[in-house]
Structure 1
């Protein structure tokens, strides 16, 4: 009903009858009656005796008589219980750029357990475009269908380094591999080769790949102990390892920094000289000595929003991929 109002701002649209709506949404007629009464009381619908129920003109309709493009913001598979910093920063800044660029925005919360259900849910959002954030390669086929079958303008922020040709849509990714190369070079310069890597996942794997590449270029091999975030009791395992020995360097991913830092302090490991810390800057909330990875989430989110807004102004705009460089700098050294 809200889509009918949005797409036909200056026309009254007759909505289906209560029996048809009940069948359409798989609910009881009493539920439909209650919802329609609520929408009527809210000023979205009006009834005409003997004719039916119609949408009602809304004052938010622009003077020119049409609504701006409607763009959905989707994080991952749409089932996030909360948004961590990196996702919210990308969403918020994409939304700002989109609304500044003349689009309207809505966030998407989905429930589908498989790709087919997700496709149906997204196409039932009545969107003109989609910003998909924190997306992995496993969703590329879904994105292709949304573009080619549903006709959505889509732009992605992809987790990790990717082959741009594999996406087929506008995409942004952060160059974790090159950041890993820079970290590897700095560890080599300090004579550090024994590394604890917390945690290994589909994104940080590129970081570790870059570190190993830098060591290989110098004819050396790092001694890496990698921990899997999904392992039961992983923090107890980390604490046990750190009590037994202190690594020369330790990378800790994102929001796990504070937990691992507490474990280091409990084990009496000196992070100034004994063990070089490596962490993303957005996760650091206290005094820090180590290598800091700066990821431009805010700037990238804004560029994503600007890019998809351009597609509505220029439908012939060809898809492009942008690999965003990350900076690695010493902090507190």
Structure 2
């Protein structure tokens, strides 16, 4: 029987605009001091492409009620695209003040944030034919106005805000237009931007988009996921080995050599001690094996004993002022019925 599922459509047009902004070295230095620093890599010729087949499959498995990916005939297995995933993939903060923005940003407020005259604001608005009022700034006009930074700029905060707002509008929280809301401008200053949980905002935006997309797919319509879908693709490749095998890829973490993870300035003697300590911990820690099947009292006691030992190690390490390092992994499989 032919697969009747509707594929999702490409929604990367706005993301392709990001590399168009030629980041001035002065602004690059400021961006590198923020949680958005890793997005500068997309200006180095690294393209952002979608695997529509992968994203379509993921969208069909999305549970709108639980906001997770669910698998199995009875939805007995759940995988969450979580805050930790976004932190790991993007480096964006997941702990901080909520990204709520400022309501009803006036032309005067925009002019103040971007350090321009109020008459210039009208030229930056994204003009919609049937709209009574302008509520978004045009991405193209924003880039044209703020891409070039004066030499020896004494106060580049406005140019930093403009670039980060452009980043939000093209990659982090895009909409179906080429406009971006100015409500985030007060949050994007060099002294304030790192105080906010941008990673949490990204998760919320992507999950809302997944929910809307799945609603369309359930109705037999075509949808598209808005937001930084690259994060969802990396999430799938990291979480599901079968996807990597299908695409003949390896885990991102597998592609990083141990030498790349070692501090370059670390003394050779410290490296030897670290290696010796790792071998000792590897010898001491044995895997906890609990057979499949029903969770019997004996299995429960075995699990409780393992967890109790971990907590005990933590208390002793805390008293001695040491950091607890454990490789214990506990996997619990729940079967209905």
TM-score normalised by length of structure 1: 0.22
What TM-score, normalized to structure 2? 0.22
| Larger strand share, 1 or 2 | 1
